[in-house]
Chain A
């Protein structure tokens, strides 16, 4: 069974940093591009980042570019999102999502984790 499990969320002050993790199982993680999508409370979905299967190609939404870094450890089947200089508007539920192929930003998202909640508040 394909499964994605996120962790690392929490309450953080503005300007702080947080690292989210997503462990994948039930599929060949190293052959699959991965993504992060967030959802602010009561709002819609916002794509924030994609990484290719090898980790060599990454893309970011303008709203997080320069503040967030996406990476992966294929030996541990784990995807990461390093978030710095956090703002109140970064508050939300962060989902990792598996792509249907290996190329970053070029496939539908065919499996999503349950999300990890990030709250940025003073």
Chain B
């Protein structure tokens, strides 16, 4: 199975800060890496697909990059509504797997 290691597992930042989360895959997964946001008590929501593509309707302060086994997710200018847990997910190799999540809090 492809293991996805997210870091950090949690972070606290101020409104307006730039936040970066990394996702390291245990095998090469080309570009097939997605990022989801899960706000407290809510269902996950797709933010970024295929490593760098912004899903329709998602604010442009969210972005993603990477290829192969190392990927990065960035929130430019953190907003209060961005309080959530963020998950990476790969779909290059079955079984589909998720990272352990990164909980983002406001300082």
Which A positions have Cβ atoms within 8 angstroms of B? 35, 37, 44-47, 50, 59, 61-62, 95, 97, 100, 105-115
Contact = CB atoms under 8 A, between A and B. Distances in A.
A27 B93 CA distance: 27
Interface residues of B, number: 23
B87 interface: yes
Contacts of A115: 43
Interface of B: 34, 36, 38, 42-46, 49-50, 55, 85, 87, 89, 91, 94-101
B40 to A, nearest CB: 12
Contacts of B98: 44-47
Contacts, number: 58
Contacts of B34: 108-109
A106 B91 contact: yes
Contacts of A47: 89, 95-98
Nearest to B34: A108
Given A45-B87, A59-B94, A108 B46 contact: yes
Contacts of B44: 37, 45, 95, 97, 109, 112
